[in-house]
Amino acid sequence: MSVNAKQLISDFKNGLWQENPIFRLVIGMCPTLAVTNTMVNGLAMGLATSFVLISSEIVVSLIKKLIPGDVRIPSYILIIATFVTFVDYFLKAFYPSIAASLSLFVPLIVVNCLILGRQETFASQNPVHRSFADALGMGIGFTWALLLLSAVRELFGMGSMFGLQILGDWYRPMVIMVLPAGAFITLGILIAIMNVIGKNATNDTTCH
């Protein structure tokens, strides 16, 4: 395998686990805590954020040389906001029920620091193909983390998964899990588990 392809694969894999935005970098917490109360919401938010992340990393990486350094942040925000508005209209037109349940958290993707952070640390310094690999990995990493978080919360909070009742009538839903406090508790426990797994997996390497 060529060095180039290896590089791309490691860029892609970076976001999945090693620098997972939620469990490792702990960024983009606003949607993470707010919309993971049901799995449908978590998945939709993950995909919407991934789309914005991939599109804006490609554009930023393409025009990075044209942007004066002093206005790079406002430029990134404008580009991100364009794609977010696109997603907002798209969801409202073709997936009205998802748009209704995510409501104001769709426009809020603009200020998700995961997206701005990747423009600043990656897309503005790397070529397009590497930026795309990074965005794809980060997007999938963000999505699976949201999905896991929302699966735990929906299962314990409502006894269902993707809206299908899994646990029977005997189960008394733990209401706190669908409330904001449940998000913090679940996130804390999951990060703890990830840290234990990560420690065992990377025991022989000291760099982190």
Partner 1 sequence: MEKNSTKAMIITLATIGIISAILLTFVYQWTIPYIEENQEETRRAAIKEVLPLAEEINQVERESQIFYEGYDNSGNRVGVAYQHSGGGYNGPIELMIGVDLEAEEIIQISILNHQETPGLGARITEEEYKSNFVGKPFGDYVVVKTPPSKTMEVQAVAGATISSSNTTRIVEEAVSMINNAYGGGS
Which residue ranges make up the site for partner 1 (CB under 8 A)?
A: 37-38, 41, 66-71, 74-75, 78-79, 81-82, 85-86, 89-90, 92-94, 96, 100-101, 103-104, 157-158, 173, 175, 178-179
CA of 149: how far to CAs of 32, 35, 101, in Å?
Answer: 8, 10, 17
Q: Cα dihedral sign for 119, 121, 125, 131?
A: negative
As given in the structure block, the two tokens for residue 40 are: 């449908």
Cβ at position 183, least distance to partner 1 in Å: 12
Cβ at position 131, least distance to partner 1 in Å: 18
Chain centroid to CA 146: how far? 7
20: closest CA among 184, 198, 180? 198
Cβ at position 193, least distance to partner 1 in Å: 24
93/164 with CB nearer partner 1 = 93
117/173 with CB nearer partner 1 = 173
7/101 with CB nearer partner 1 = 101
100/189 with CB nearer partner 1 = 100
Cβ at position 140, least distance to partner 1 in Å: 25
CA of 72: how far to CAs of 69, 75, 79, 96, 156, in Å?
Answer: 5, 5, 11, 34, 44
Cβ at position 180, least distance to partner 1 in Å: 9
Asked whether the beta carbons of 157 and 37 are under 8 A apart, the reply is yes
141/182 with CB nearer partner 1 = 182
